[in-house]
Amino acid sequence: MSADTITIATFVVIIAITLGITAWASRRSKDTDHHYVAGGEIKGWQNGLALAGDFMSAATILGIGGLTALGSFTGFYIAAGGLAAFLVMLLLVAEPLRNLGKYTLADALTSRFNAKGVRSAAAISTIAICIPYMIAQLVGAGAVIELLTGVDYAVAVIIIGILMAVYITAGGMLATTYIQVVKAVLLIVAIFVLLVLVLARFSFNPLAVLDEAGAQLGGGAFTPPHGLEGLSWVSVALAYMFGASGLPHILIRFFTVPDAKAARASIAVSIWVIALVLAAMPIIGYGAALLVGQQTLAAEASEGGNLAVPLLAEVLGGPFLLAFVAAVTFATILAVVAGLVIAASGAFAHDFYNNVIRNGEASDGEQLNAARIMAVVVSVLSIVLSLAVQNVNIAILVAVPLVIAASANVPVILLTLYWKRFNTTGAIVGMLTGLVASVGLTLVGPTAMGENALFPLAGPGLVSMPLGFLGCYLGTVLSGTRAREERERGTQVPYEEIHVRSNTGYRSIGEELEREPTSRSRA
Amino acid sequence: MEREDKLGVNEPSAEQSGPRPRSGGWEQVERTSAFAELVKAKKAFIVPAMLFFFVFFTAWTALGGLTTVLDGRAFGAVTWATVFGFAQFVVVLVLLHLYTARAKKWDRLVEEARREAPERRRIS
């Protein structure tokens, strides 16, 4: 059996498993609630694995491994920034958002502001994040699969796109979650095997790996970049730290669990998983640098080192391990893109169609149909765009979503939860300011314009995130209507309600107060 | 069993849009001593923890990127910038465990507020 045959066979096994999960989920995914949030029935630890899986995309894992293997310190920033993001999420947003939200990010915000403007702004920023993110994943996926299996780029993208549409229209969030869980477990196994095999070559002494990498790769491997590049990485790390708390496909994961306790448990599981996987990445990256050899890696440098980890697998375990790592990469791409399709199609179908166009009056059947139709539309749209941009620099597409999340979504989420005077105008202005600033500064920055950049930082988060907060503040204080007046008009709910609900998870105050003092709660 | 579980989640009214008349009652929960204690306890942990972590993380990226103080070798080929990077992992895990330990107490306060709120209504 040739290496390609083994690889394709493992890909077919992965596809069969995911379709099996989808078939099982489709029998339970019968209403809108199941489609978007798996009926809120996912267990904390399962959701934790899925959350970790959402963060550990192919771009993250292959990217960090590649950066490290090529002797760059910056892989550490992405690794620690990603972990920091989950702590920020735990401390500030996970539990309160779980208590306020329903299906989408916009649902959580409109639990305070009864305004179509807020919902529309949240839906626009969700789409502005998910579509580029998805294209970046698909373009990367197509390239990696082409290199690993010889399957044509266009064919690979189309296959993934079709699988996506099938998973989501048939299995909804339930299928997406379990596919993500399976992928997370496979990824952990793959990383663990690679770690052990690398260490075995260095008599199980991690310091020996680091020392030898330092000797061979030179100073850059353990020294961060300085000057303007250093400042740019400060900015990128900041966007990582806060951005994940505003990524729609991550936030909707908290709506799939029954309560805030389960949301907390999910983060605990995901932090441990991510910490262990990311702590292993430097060893694996340096292992690739030492065992694959710089010459081979440099030959693949046009891929940004993305193939360092698969190449290491081939050196350590031959065609079988290569096939396994390739299949895990494939599963990773499928699972992450599926989560993005749910988030993006929710913004179209639930936010725009049901709540803005139909005033929230569409029947459950109509909502479910809209959700499924939009999932297909989003999948097709992404396939077409991915085929169109395959020769464009995808670095822009990778950079933008996280910065938009940090600049447009995070300020509004935090102020909705914690600032009593925040009002509708502030929320809309803040969201649009953050969106325009992050997209605009990326387009005039070095990522898009290279040498002639008008704005010096490759990651604009350091500037665009404060601008997002400033937009929220100025929108609030300069608008004629104060929060108090909005409450009198009924366009904003009393802050006490948000305060109590976000801290306790009560859904209806009447129910709570009618309860007999002695009776135990349903928790 | 799944149907029962989601009753709470499915409550249609609360988070749908459209202005609606609001009946009071939330401040009654807010006024319970258990809720006041809950908010105070959360603030007392989350605010300092978040500030500390923000400073600790930004200090690493800023000192690493803008100065050369972390470029020195700590041991072997490993620089202080790398050690500081791994320290982020340790701090995240420690804060995670401090948070979850405290959150268990907060859950009890939420339950207490639940029991206390209807009593306050009877009194007032």
Q: Of A179, A166, A344, which is closest to residue A252 (Cα–Cα)?
A: A344
CA distance A505 to B110: 9
Contacts of B107 in chain A (CB under 8 A): 261
Q: Name the phi and psi angles at B74, rounded to 5.
A: -90, -50
Provide the pLDDT for residue B19.
Answer: 42
Provide the pLDDT for residue A514.
Answer: 66
Of A210, A255, A496, the CB nearest to B30: A496
Give the pLDDT means over successive 10-residue stretches in chain A (523 positions). Answer: 77 91 88 88 93 84 83 86 94 93 90 89 92 85 77 88 90 92 93 94 88 80 86 90 92 92 94 92 89 76 70 88 86 88 90 87 87 90 85 69 94 94 94 95 84 85 95 92 84 89 83 56 40
CA B18 to chain centre: 30
Provide the pLDDT for residue A471.
Answer: 96
Give the ranges where A347-363 is alpha helix by DSSP (H).
none
Task: With a cut of 70, list the residues of chain B below it in pLDDT.
Answer: 1-24, 120-124
CA distance A297 to A460: 30
Interface A:B, Cβ pairs < 8 A? 223
Chain A: give the shortest CA distance to residue B54, in Å.
9
CA distance A235 to A402: 12
A113 three-class SS:
strand
A313 three-class SS:
helix
CA distance A352 to A359: 9
**Subunit contact A33:B49, Cβ cutoff 8 A:** no
CA distance B103 to B115: 19
Provide the pLDDT for residue B4.
Answer: 37
Of A87, A493, A501, the CB nearest to B95: A87
Q: What is the ipTM of this complex?
A: 0.90
**Subunit contact B115:A517, Cβ cutoff 8 A:** yes
Q: Name the phi and psi angles at A24, rounded to 5.
A: -65, -45
Tens of pLDDT, residues A313-322: 988 988 889 8
**Subunit contact A268:B96, Cβ cutoff 8 A:** yes
Residue spans per domain, chain B: 27-119
Q: Work out the angle between the directed axes of helices A227-243 and A395-404 (0-180°, nearest 10).
A: 60
Q: Of A485, A463, A488, which is closest to residue A476 (Cα–Cα)?
A: A485
Tokens found for residue A484: 């108090």
Provide the pLDDT for residue A470.
Answer: 97
Provide the pLDDT for residue B5.
Answer: 37
Instruction: Kindly list the structural domains of chain A, giving each domain's residue range(s) and its CATH number in brackets, ordered by start.
Output: 3-360+370-508 (1.20.1730.10)
Interchain contact B56–A (C-beta under 8 A)? no
How many helices and strands, by DSSP H and E, does chain B display?
A: 6, 2
3-state secondary structure A458-515: CCCHHHHHHHHHHHHHHHHHHCCCCHHHHHHHCCECCHHHHHHHHHHCCCCHHHHHHC
Cα–Cα distances in angstroms (integers) from residue A142 to residues A147, A386, A405, in the given order:
9, 9, 25
**Subunit contact A494:B22, Cβ cutoff 8 A:** yes
Tokens found for residue A394: 């995808």
Are residues B23 and A509 in contact, defined by beta-carbon separation less than 8 angstroms?
yes
CA distance A512 to A503: 14
Are residues A236 and A459 in contact, defined by beta-carbon separation less than 8 angstroms?
yes
Name which of B20, B23, B29 to mutate to probe chain A: the one with the most chain A Cβ atoms within 10 A of its Cβ.
Answer: B29
Q: How many C-beta atoms surround the C-beta of residue B59 within 10 A? A: 12
CA distance A195 to A286: 11
Which residue in chain B has the smallest CA separation from A39?
B6
Chain B: give the shortest CA distance to residue A361, in Å.
10
